[in-house]
Amino acid sequence: MAVIALKCSSVELVVVDISVNRIAAWNSNQLPIYDPGLDDAVKQCRGKNLFFSTDIEKHVSEADIIFVSVNTPTKTRGLGAGKAADLTYWESAARMIADVSKSDKILVEKSTVPVKTAEAIEKILTHNSKGINYQILSNPEFLAEGTAMQDLFNPDRVLIGGRETPEGGKAVQALKDVYAHWVPETGF
């Protein structure tokens, strides 16, 4: 989000987390993670178009595009234990998004998730939608620890997947428009 904030100064980004301590660290001069260039990007954008908050429901309800990046640990019990991804956090996020949304949303999968996760999440959202339309996009990252900022500034490719419908196409284009601020057209 720091790279998007840096490259898209007219876009307001709010990073939300349930951890008060983690958000406090993002709002401090001692960031909770290190990556070359991250500290400068956050300091340059924080308070201008990049914000950090624990008021998840407020910011989710106001957002047009929601990047969901949650833990997807390996299941420890049940079907697929030791092998399959545990999507509990994703499912919880989807239910909360459905509960607080008052307008159509684009959800972007950033977590490492198995194939067909978007369909499972779409079922949760549709079942709880209250007439709100959701488009779910897959947008995996190709980042390495210690070079994440550089990888984001100069990606060799950006993958965006969505439904092959007019609405899905519009959602893909909306996300493509964000990346187009710094990724050449040939990178998609």
pLDDT, tens digit, for every residue of 153-166?
Answer: 999 889 999 999 99
List b or e across 124-147, with b for residues whose CB sees 16 or more CB atoms inside 10 angstroms.
bbeeeeeeeebbbbbbeeeeeeee
Phi (first) and psi of residue 96, to 5 degrees: -65, -45
Check whether residue 143 and residue 153 sit in a common domain.
yes
Residue 140: name the closest of 116, 109, 119, 168 by CA. 109
Amino acid symbol at 93: A
Cβ contact 52:89 at 8 Å: no
pTM of the model: 0.89
pLDDT digits (tens, 9 = 90+) for 50-79: 999 999 999 999 999 999 987 776 777 777
138 and 152 belong to one structural domain: yes
Tallying the residues shown for the chain, one arrives at 188
Same domain, 81 and 10: no
Could you tell me the residue range of the domain that residue 43 belongs to? 1-54
Residue range 96-151, pLDDT digits in tens: 999 999 999 999 988 777 677 788 888 888 887 788 999 999 998 888 888 999 99
- What does residue 42 show for φ and ψ, rounded to 5 degrees? -65, -45
Q: Do residue 65 and residue 46 come from a single domain?
A: no
Are residues 19 and 66 located together in one domain of the fold? no
CA separation for the pair 152, 142 (Å, rounded): 8
In this structure, are 158 and 179 located in the same domain?
yes
**Looking at the structure, do residues 60 and 26 belong to the same domain, yes or no?**
no
Residues 75 and 129 in one domain: yes
Q: What is the CATH number for 165?
A: 3.40.50.720
Q: How many domains does the chain fold into? A: 2
Answer with the one of 17, 36, 54 that is the final residue of a domain. Answer: 54
From 32, 54, 76, give the residue that closes a domain.
54
The residues near 58 (Cβ < 8 Å, ≥ 6 apart) are none
